[in-house]
Structure 1
């Protein structure tokens, strides 16, 4: 994902206008060309994408900006994720569609869990990168705003979690109608009834018209990704379930082990090297940005026990997980 570029949707200009924020000041603060919006399609690297949202947060002033963004979302904003979602039959269908095509428009991945309690949408960011707080909370606000626009009903989630308490916590809780708690990831949950409440904006015929182009763009993006990047993406999904083996990854990517080894060798790396770097990046992220216990982190990285994780971490970094966490806390 680190080598990809992501589209900053043209509707962002309308959003900045609605928020009363100067596009030029945002771009200048983000160290991006001030004529960026006049160049046609805008494609940003993950670092640039995050800088844009950090600059927007800074230029927005002392306001509850994530809530303001949620209230600015409207049917009139022709935006691919909003449009794809509004054409859906319900929130559960909308989430599936956006999760599929999210890689086209931002450096993040959506994980969906439709268990007995309803629908949980969890945001996953590039390994080793911490998303701007505004971007992360706006992603959660989007889902509640979307459901309310499409159903014309004041849909409320049953649970919202963030890794660190946001500065505008009270405003967010007022918007969601539920307490925002501290958890391991940015996630929002809707009960089964709300997840399947019919969208009044459903338009399956229009969706069929646009879906082929979205599939083509997604195929082009995946083809452009390096094999190592695809392995990392697969590991992000398989590691929490204990899938650290090449067998799990080859099954996920639908290639043979021999083919995968050959492709990685052509890129100057090996499966074990990609696995180790992915685990290290994730470990550093968990230790620096969550309160999870070391045993929990070891489990999420696919280790059988904490001792194996400790030994590997010392090999990568020359220090221990506890020391790195203490250093990160002191720096913060």
Structure 2
């Protein structure tokens, strides 16, 4: 999972358009003055929340989040959003965004289509504190902009739901054009199902076919990287505990602060298994011991958690095709030459 957010440079431009001092916002948030001058603006979840809290304080405008989320020009949308606008409707556009969101931030977009309603919520995966009010409003306003741009209408959501109480509730209702509810289980924006399934006038099959493969390739690389990093994490945990006994799945799952079932599921999703990673961990350590130490074969077998040298020998022949003694001699000879 990515640990940082990419903040679009256009946020600074929009702040200026609404008369908000970018310098004052960055100073209030405790962020570098040249943040938006960087080629890629990357911030942690804590820094992102600090940035949006600062926007609220510096602007002194209870509707600043709503205003910043309004977008009417196609060229100002992110390429991923442009691809979403090229899909069939708001449901498929949101699903598109949810699928590729993991490529840009530690955030999830949750959506659900029912008979009467279509809900969209945003979950900040690494958040400790509650999300800033202004950020919630920004996300809701941006979703409305996407829906209106795609349908070519001035549709309004059915309602917006907030976890926390909001003092400017009536003002928000007028701005969003719908009912606002507090004390909800999550912050979410709700559209009519009929609006969410209205065909997009921006649908562009040719453009989507051009952009989608690029996103899919990035997603494939990201997924492979995530899978490899998790397998490597498990492998290191096993190797750290290969000290005279074979660590069990329960021991490793406890070390990684997850249940055995979760560990097993994640390994399966990565195309592996606990036994396979255990074998790989032992194989790596066996090569290391035989190449870089003067340990006897029975000592190596013990450290790798094998019951006896014969069991180790059989396993090593499976890995390398030769007995461990022959492998060691060959590599010692190669080192000398």
Q: Which residue of 2 aligns with 1:196?
A: 197
Q: CA deviation at 1:244?
A: 9.3
Q: Which residue of 1 aligns with 2:30?
A: 31
Aligned residues: 253
Gaps of 5+ in 2: 235-258, 283-337
Gaps of 5+ in 1: 232-242, 267-332
Secondary structure of the structure 2 residue equivalent to 1:76: helix
Q: Which residue of 1 aligns with 2:150?
A: 150
Output the CA distance in 2 between the equivalents of 1:179 and 1:64.
16
Q: Which residue of 2 aligns with 1:21?
A: 20
- After superposition, the C-alpha distances for 1:135-169 in whole angstroms (9 at most, x for unaligned) are 12211222122211222212122232110123332
Distance 1:127 1:184, change over 3 A: farther
Output the CA distance in 2 between the equivalents of 1:191 and 1:261.
48
Structure with greater Cα Rg:
2
Output the CA distance in 1 between the equivalents of 2:212 and 2:167.
38
Q: CA deviation at 1:10?
A: 2.3
Output the CA distance in 1 between the equivalents of 2:22 and 2:89.
34
RMSD: 3.2
- After superposition, the C-alpha distances for 1:6-38 in whole angstroms (9 at most, x for unaligned) are 211122233222222122222222222111222
1:40 equivalent in alignment to 2:43: no
Q: CA deviation at 1:120?
A: 1.5
Output the CA distance in 2 between the equivalents of 1:105 and 1:258.
30
Q: How does 1:5-16 map to 2 (within 5 A)?
A: 5-16=4-15
Moved more, 74-83 or 88-97: 74-83
Contact 1:118 1:189 in 2 (8 A): yes
Q: CA deviation at 1:92?
A: 0.8
Contact 1:11 1:78 in 2 (8 A): no
Q: How does 1:68-79 map to 2 (within 5 A)?
A: 68-79=67-78
Q: Which residue of 2 aligns with 1:119?
A: 118
Q: Which residue of 2 aligns with 1:206?
A: 207
Moved more, 69-78 or 171-180: 69-78
